[in-house]
Amino acid sequence: MRRILLACAAAFLAGCVAPPARVDVSETRAPDQSYMVDLPTGWIKHTQPDKTLLVSRDGFPLQTIILAHAPLERAFPRTKKAASETMLPSELAELYISELKNRDQQLSVLKVIENEPVRLDGRDGFRSRVSYMTPRGLEMHHVSYGLADKSGFYRIEYAAPKLYYFDRTLGDFEKTVASFRLTNREKTATK
Amino acid sequence: MARNDRIALAAILVGAALGMADVLASLAPFSEAGGARPASEDEQRVWSQAQEFSGIIGKSGVLYQDGALDAYLQQVMDSLFPEFRGAIRVRAVQAPQLNAFALPDGAIYVNTGLMARFGNEAQLATVLAHEGTHFTHRHGFRSQQNLKSNAAFASVTAMLGVPILPQLLAISSIFGFSREMETEADQVGYDRLQKAGYDPHESPKVFEHLMREVKAEGVDEPFFFASHPKLKERVDNMTRFSARAPAGGGGTSRADYARTVQKLRVDNLEGMLSMGRAKSALLMLEDPDHLAELPPYAPYYLGEAYRLRGGEGDSLRSEKAYLKALADAPDFAPTYRALGIHFLKTGQYSESIRHLTRYLEVAPDARDRKYVENYLQIARNKKEGR
Amino acid sequence: MASKRIAFLVATFILTGCATPQKASLHEALSSRGEQGMPHKILLLPVDVRVHEISAGGVVEKVDEWTLTANANATKSLRKIAGSGKAFELKEPPDFTGEDKAVLEEHLALYVHVAGSADLARSSNFEVWRERAKKFDYTLGPGLSRIAEHADADAAIIIVGSDYVSSSGRKATMALGFLAAAFTGVAIVPAGGTAFISVGVVDLKSGDLLWFSTDRSANRDLRDDGQMQAVLEQLFASYPGMTPAKAARGAQ
């Protein structure tokens, strides 16, 4: 959460990012044009300089949806690993969780609650749910979907305090995920 | 402000900084638990920060939960610092990084990653003695004060155009203690080690091993000794001290230590692999002595480390390691899954089906059942040419 | 380790820029009811205003004795303000133990996120967030209702803040016209001394943030009881049912 706030602050200071906007029309094209998605209307979206979308209804400390796309070779910068479209979903999930754990100390001891294969826009991907504690002892939950395609590694994440907030807008997030589609229309059959 | 006023003010600030340095240099070490208390308001502040930091560590879920291990750590620490019983408290922190740190109020934290690396209790005691000395000699408070006064010194002299060496200040102030304090911790810690009856010849081995690992992993994060040159200093100091020591001393039993930390080592391996630290894991697992001290299914982790490293020839190495784990520990379910996935990726679909099926039989409540069922279907489809 | 408090301050300072006074916010459910809808029996939870010293070189240290002083000042001031009129009755909290204590602590940890979000939105440079804050429906959820039963109170006042006091060395450095502030990536060292205080009234049954107000100012010293009194009077001047006369009488 600290990283999200600082990223927003840095982006604002850098002056090279569009101001945040309310989501009035649900259908949204990715900043780099690589996907389409229906965002919850009434929420507020920020576009980062690296084209990551951050979306929230009540404020990032209370809930955040993140949509990001990276080239396969730069999918996991902290662990210096690449993704590949031939990877099994469990391998992709493993690398993703490894990357998450390397973000900071709190995340390094995250607990994996769920981790399973899913189909995302007709492609094989994964869904994981992890939990970790903030320094003040607040339990945070973090759901992530990920898939690798020849056009890159895509992740859709949702983070919120478990207490009251997580369940409150989980449904909005899952609708967003269900609407996700790549603009590159080639799909891979189940391997 | 007039030029003379600026010079006078600068002189006052510089004088204060140097004066502070003199005061800090003369700050006596604590002599026993009863006297181990802050001696000034400034020191009390630093202790309060330390207590708050410990509170955060406690709430954050990073402490390694094992009462027996905590008791063991504390017992080793108390044998090194008997007169500080109750004042120095040591806990294990769940983290694969090579780290241990001492807070100014006597709270010492040792990462499970570091503990897993030690070969015996004498090596553990070397690090605990070093860290304990940082507390008894008030290095935490002295460092904090140095940082404040040196930073002030730096900012004033920078303004006035007086050249200083900022990188020296940065290294000493931010990444661990100063060179002088580290050397003091080496010397006093070494004396404690000898007095407690540990074999002092084990002490350089700790740092030699850490140096190898730093080189292998190439990590950037700040850790125990912050930099390669600092590690080299520790090795040199310990080698010099122990050269004079007679042979013999306690705490050298690998078997005893291995039994105590076996669960920690396995947990640490899982943690390392889950963070992608394959090279560090291999440093441990490719050591046959170390591997022999782990449970019979440990070659599974060796297989996983090869798989994650993914270098040339690693696929075959991982298969060999998994098969060894299967032979030595046929009830250990994850090996079947690992082999099932390995054979799937190498196109050996019958073998894949056999092992994945066996996995679900051995672990019917497996949390990753959906992945495995998915892979079974893929293997069947491939086998049938679909 | 980074604290969320610091992260919110970072974002606040950077995203809001200058220190403009903010009006208080009233929960949207109360906007038509005003004074009638406000709670009567309010628990004063332990004040959490942390006072730090910034050294000449930018090192930030929390100072316990100053923190205790600031918290005592806030408690005393609030008792005066509450006692001055009939806007609300301030109740001392019981000694929470066991599950009550755990529930309270967890909700206080959540409060930092809720108050932080509300504050960021209210004082954002971006219109879209300020608009969001106008629909003031921030809440902690109903998990505190057991506290309401056990403490015989309708609501709780939560005061959270930070003050950064420049050391004499730092003031001297600043006087030379050079600011040795460093952005560490964990905490930003504000220019000079800067105080931030937030006051929230939370309904213990619903968890709704009924009333919320903040103050951030340079050159304010929360260790000084007169200055703390002034800040809280100013904040509570807009509390429904609190007239300036009542608030001022509280100061006598």
Residues of C within 8 A of A161 (CB-CB) are 110, 113
Statement: residue B157 has pLDDT above 70: no
Pick from A76, A79, A90: which is nearest to B371 by CB? A90
Q: Distance between CA A25 and CA B319 in Å, rounded?
A: 52
Rounded to 10 degrees, the C-alpha dihedral A68/A73/A75/A78 comes to: -130
Q: What percent of chain B has pLDDT over 70?
A: 82
Statement: residue B221 has pLDDT above 80: no
Helix axes B369-383, B333-345, angle to 10 degrees: 40
Which of B76-85, B276-285, C178-187 has the highest mean predicted lDDT (pLDDT)? B76-85
In a domain, A29, yes or no: yes
Statement: residue B160 has pLDDT above 50: no
Quick check: B27 and B142 in contact, CB under 8 A? yes
Which of B101-105, B267-271, C159-163, C218-222 has the highest mean predicted lDDT (pLDDT)? B267-271
Q: Does the beta carbon of B14 lie under 8 angstroms from any beta carbon of chain C?
A: no
Inter-chain residue contact C61 with B152, CB threshold 8 Å: no
CA A97, A99, A103, A109 torsion-angle sign: positive
Statement: residue B218 has pLDDT above 50: yes
Measured CA angle at A129 (ends A127, A132), to 5 deg: 155
In a domain, A191, yes or no: no
pTM of the model: 0.82
pLDDT per residue over C41-65, tens digit each? Answer: 999 998 988 888 877 666 777 788 8
The Cα of A109 is separated from the nearest Cα of chain B by a number of Å equal to: 6
Residues of A within 8 A of C158 (CB-CB) are none
Q: Distance between CA B319 and CA C123 in Å, rounded?
A: 59
Within 10 angstroms of residue C131's Cβ, the number of other Cβ atoms is: 13
Enclosing domain of residue C243 = 4-251
Query: What is the structure's pLDDT at B165?
Result: 35
Question: What CATH code is carried by the domain that includes residue A51?
Answer: 3.40.1000.10
- The pair of structure tokens assigned to B150 is 């040196």
Query: What is the structure's pLDDT at C3?
Result: 40
Q: Does the beta carbon of A108 lie under 8 angstroms from any beta carbon of chain B?
A: yes
Enclosing domain of residue A169 = 2-182
Inter-chain residue contact B48 with C178, CB threshold 8 Å: no
Query: What is the structure's pLDDT at A97?
Result: 96
Per CB distance under 8 Å, which residues of C are interface residues toward B? 1, 3, 55-59, 61-65, 169-170, 172-173, 175-176, 178, 180
Task: List Cβ neighbours of A62 (8 Å cut-off, separation of 6 or more).
Answer: A56, A160, A161, A165, C113, C114, C117
pLDDT: which is higher, A122 or C165: A122
Q: Which helix (H) or strand (E) holds B86?
A: none
Query: What is the structure's pLDDT at C189?
Result: 41
The chains found to touch B (3+ Cβ pairs under 8 angstroms) are: A, C
Residues of A within 8 A of B59 (CB-CB) are 133, 135-137
Query: What is the structure's pLDDT at B149?
Result: 60
Residues of C within 8 A of A132 (CB-CB) are none
- Residue of chain B whose alpha carbon sits nearest to that of C175: B1
Task: Taking residues A165-175, report their average pLDDT.
Answer: 98
What is the three-state SS of chain C? CCCHHHHHHHHHHHHHCCCCCCCCEECHHHCCCHHHHCCCEEEECCCEEEEEEECCCCCEEECHHHHHHHHHHHHHHHHHHHHHCCCCEEECCCCCCHHHHHHHHHHHHHHHHHHHHHHHHHCCCCHHHHHHHHCCCCECCHHHHHHHHHHCCCEEEEEEEEEEEECHHHHHHHHCCCCCCCECCCCECCCCCEEEEEEEEEECCCCEEEEEEEEEEECCCCCCHHHHHHHHHHHHCCCCCCCHHHHHHHHC
Q: Distance between CA A46 and CA A48 in Å, rounded?
A: 6
Task: Taking residues B64-84, report their average pLDDT.
Answer: 96
Sheet holding A35-38, edge to edge: A27-29, A35-38, A181-182
In a domain, A42, yes or no: yes
A137 phi/psi in degrees, rounded to 5? 85, 20
Q: Distance between CA C16 and CA B29 in Å, rounded?
A: 47
Pick from B13, B144, B153: which is nearest to C172 by CB? B13
Query: What is the structure's pLDDT at A104?
Result: 74
- Residue of chain B whose alpha carbon sits nearest to that of A126: B371
Q: Does the beta carbon of B170 lie under 8 angstroms from any beta carbon of chain C?
A: no
Q: Distance between CA C104 and CA C156 in Å, rounded?
A: 11
- The pair of structure tokens assigned to B169 is 């200040």
The model's confidence at residue C181, banded by pLDDT at 50, 70 and 90, is very low
Task: Return the DSSP state at B250.
Answer: B
Statement: residue C29 has pLDDT above 50: yes
Q: Which helix (H) or strand (E) holds A123?
A: strand A123-133
Q: What percent of chain C has pLDDT over 90?
A: 34
- The pair of structure tokens assigned to B336 is 């079947």
Task: Return the DSSP state at B151.
Answer: H
Task: Taking residues B134-148, report their average pLDDT.
Answer: 82
Name residue, tokens 């004063």: C44
Statement: residue A4 has pLDDT above 70: no
Query: What is the structure's pLDDT at B14?
Result: 52
Task: Taking residues A90-95, report their average pLDDT.
Answer: 97
Q: Which of B181, B106, B100 is nearest to B146 (CA)?
A: B181
Quick check: B327 and B308 in contact, CB under 8 A? no
Query: What is the structure's pLDDT at A9?
Result: 54
Domain count, chain C: 1
Residues of B within 8 A of A113 (CB-CB) are none
Helices (H), chain B: 3-25, 41-59, 67-80, 112-117, 121-136, 139-159, 166-173, 179-195, 203-217, 228-243, 254-274, 278-285, 288-292, 299-309, 314-328, 333-345, 349-362, 369-383
Inter-chain residue contact B275 with A132, CB threshold 8 Å: no
Query: What is the structure's pLDDT at A149?
Result: 92
A138 phi/psi in degrees, rounded to 5? -95, 130
Residues of B within 8 A of C1 (CB-CB) are 53, 56-57, 60
Q: Distance between CA B98 and CA B281 in Å, rounded?
A: 12
Quick check: C165 and C154 in contact, CB under 8 A? no
Task: Return the DSSP state at B56.
Answer: H
Sheet holding B100-102, edge to edge: B89-93, B107-111, B100-102
Statement: residue A82 has pLDDT above 90: yes
Rounded to 10 degrees, the C-alpha dihedral A85/A70/A82/A74 comes to: 150
Query: What is the structure's pLDDT at A88?
Result: 95
Name residue, tokens 């995920």: A177
Statement: residue B195 has pLDDT above 50: yes
List all residues of chain B from 340 to 359 with a beta carbon under 8 Å from chain A: 341, 344-345
- Residue of chain B whose alpha carbon sits nearest to that of A131: B61
The model's confidence at residue C160, banded by pLDDT at 50, 70 and 90, is confident
The Cα of A64 is separated from the nearest Cα of chain B by a number of Å equal to: 21
Task: Taking residues A76-105, report their average pLDDT.
Answer: 92
Residues of A within 8 A of B345 (CB-CB) are 88
In a domain, A113, yes or no: yes
ipTM over 0.95: no
SS3 assignment, position A111: strand
Domain count, chain A: 1
SS3 assignment, position B49: helix
Name residue, tokens 């409540």: B365
Alpha-carbon distances of B346 from B7, B118, C222, rounded to whole Å: 75, 37, 68
Q: Which of B41, B13, B38 is nearest to B159 (CA)?
A: B13
The model's confidence at residue A186, banded by pLDDT at 50, 70 and 90, is low
Task: List Cβ neighbours of A91 (8 Å cut-off, separation of 6 or more).
Answer: none
- The pair of structure tokens assigned to B133 is 């000395």
The structural domains of chain B, ordered by start, are 3-243 (no CATH), 278-383 (1.25.40.10)
| Encoded amino acid at B322, one letter | Y
Task: Taking residues B357-363, report their average pLDDT.
Answer: 97
Pick from C14, C105, C120: which is nearest to A59 by CB? C120
pLDDT per residue over B287-330, tens digit each? Answer: 998 999 999 999 999 999 999 999 999 999 999 999 999 999 99
The model's confidence at residue A190, banded by pLDDT at 50, 70 and 90, is very low
The Cα of B257 is separated from the nearest Cα of chain A by a number of Å equal to: 25
SS3 assignment, position B202: helix
Query: What is the structure's pLDDT at C193?
Result: 61
Quick check: B367 and A115 in contact, CB under 8 A? yes
Strand A64-70, strand A53-56: pairing: antiparallel
Task: Taking residues B44-49, report their average pLDDT.
Answer: 85
Residues B203-234: b if buried by 16+ CB within 10 A, e if exposed: bbbbbebbbebbeebeeeeebbbbeeebbebb
Query: What is the structure's pLDDT at B171?
Result: 32
Pick from A90, A101, A137: which is nearest to B274 by CB? A101
Task: Taking residues C124-132, report their average pLDDT.
Answer: 93
- The gap from C-alpha B63 to its chain's centroid, in whole angstroms, comes to 13
Inter-chain residue contact C106 with A59, CB threshold 8 Å: no
pLDDT per residue over B241-273, tens digit each? Answer: 999 888 888 989 999 999 999 999 999 999 999
Quick check: A137 and C4 in contact, CB under 8 A? no
Q: Is A110 left (phi over 0), alpha (psi -120 to 50) or beta?
A: beta
Query: What is the structure's pLDDT at B3?
Result: 56
Q: Distance between CA B271 and CA B284 in Å, rounded?
A: 14
Residue C41 burial (C-beta neighbours within 10 Å; 0-12, 13-18, 19+): middle
Query: What is the structure's pLDDT at A5?
Result: 59
Residues of C within 8 A of B46 (CB-CB) are 61
- Residue of chain A whose alpha carbon sits nearest to that of B376: A191
Statement: residue A187 has pLDDT above 80: no
Statement: residue B35 has pLDDT above 60: yes
Q: Does the beta carbon of A189 lie under 8 angstroms from any beta carbon of chain B?
A: no
The model's confidence at residue B177, banded by pLDDT at 50, 70 and 90, is confident
Statement: residue A53 has pLDDT above 90: yes
Residues C137-156: b if buried by 16+ CB within 10 A, e if exposed: ebbbbebbeebbeebebbbb
Query: What is the structure's pLDDT at B331?
Result: 96
List all residues of chain C from 31 to 60 with a beta carbon under 8 Å from chain A: none
Statement: residue B286 has pLDDT above 80: yes
- The gap from C-alpha B122 to its chain's centroid, in whole angstroms, comes to 16
Q: Does the beta carbon of C230 lie under 8 angstroms from any beta carbon of chain A?
A: no
Statement: residue A139 has pLDDT above 90: yes
Alpha-carbon distances of B117 from B96, B112, B303, C57, rounded to whole Å: 10, 9, 19, 39
List all residues of chain A from 58 to 97 with a beta carbon under 8 Å from chain B: 76, 79, 81, 88-90, 94-95, 97
